[in-house]
Amino acid sequence: MRQDQDLITQDEVSAAPCAPSRQAIVLEVCVFLFLILPSMVLAYFAGSQDQISFVLLAVSVIFRDLGLVSLILFLAWRDREPVSRLGLNSRNLDGNILLGFVLYVPFLIVIGLVTQVLTALGLSQPSEPGPSYFHVGGHWELALAVVLVIVVAISEETIFRGYLIRRLHTATGSLAGAVLLSSIFFALGHGYEGSLGVITVGVMGLIFSLIYLWRKSLVVPIILHFLQDFIAIVVAPYLT
């Protein structure tokens, strides 16, 4: 009887999943804290939405996006998945960089046509070009805005294209469904732009996704995303 109990115990131990290493646990905790603590601290100082300044918004978004990308990189490391499979690779880097700038003009034309069609259908957009806390003033805020659009372009393409499309494809079994869902999630964060803006951003997400799948790289979508945000946040306020 004692031998049987010993055998059962040994079988249970051998069948149990291997616990993560100490290094994995430490890294996981660090990434988790990096993800949540900055936003919690900044939210404490923000008080209410009316008190949000551009600096506070920009710093909060930068930390949030860097935290999410850190989490994605941790998950890729844990699963022994090379980051190149997320589109973070140097494959044909020079050609993709050039293609990103070349495609920006036709990209703007397509988005302009989509906006005209949606406007003709009666969809709305805010009378103001953006919330008050998007208004950049002064050299320091301008520099922060440049950092913001760089971080957002790299982070959001990594999150919504490189990470979500792959994971949603696995979860749904449908690549088309994964592209559609990731574009919807991408658009939901732009509610301040009205119904017209949300749908337009969703179309942008579809275009970024198709280019990502075509090039098997995030470089072109990152450049298009950066140019779009740079003109909207940094250049346009000075022109108006």
> What is the structure's pLDDT at 204?
96
Which domain covers residue 16, as residue numbers? Answer: 2-239
The residue assigned the tokens 């990308």 is 69
> What is the structure's pLDDT at 232?
87
Domain count, the chain: 1
Percent of all residues in the chain with a pLDDT value above 90, rounded to a whole number:
41
CA dihedral 128, 134, 140, 145 (to 10 degrees): -110
Contact yes or no for 97/219 (Cβ under 8 A): yes
Phi, psi of 89 (to 5 degrees): -140, 165
Contact yes or no for 178/164 (Cβ under 8 A): yes
Question: How many other CB atoms are found less than 10 A from the CB of residue 67?
Answer: 20
Note the pTM of the prediction, 2 decimals: 0.80
**Secondary structure of the chain as H, E, C letters:** CHHHHHHHHHHHHHHCCCCCCHHHHHHHHHHHHHHHHHHHHHHHHHCCHHHCCHHHHHHHHHHHHHHHHHHHHHHHHHCCCCHHHHCCCCCCHHHHHHHHHHHHHHHHHHHHHHHHHHHHCCCCCCCCCCCHHHCCCCHHHHHHHHHHHHHHHHHHHHHHHHHHHHHHHHHHCCHHHHHHHHHHHHHHCCHHHHHHHHHHHHHHHHHHHHHHHHHCCCHHHHHHHHHHHHHHHHHHHHHC
Between the two ends of the chain, the Cα-to-Cα distance in Å is: 86
Question: How many other CB atoms are found less than 10 A from the CB of residue 180?
Answer: 17
Written as six digits, the tokens of 98 are: 């050039």
Nearest to 162 by CA among 79, 58, 65, 89: 89
Residue ranges for the chain with pLDDT beneath 50? 1-17, 47-49
> What is the structure's pLDDT at 202?
94
The amino acid that residue 88 corresponds to is L
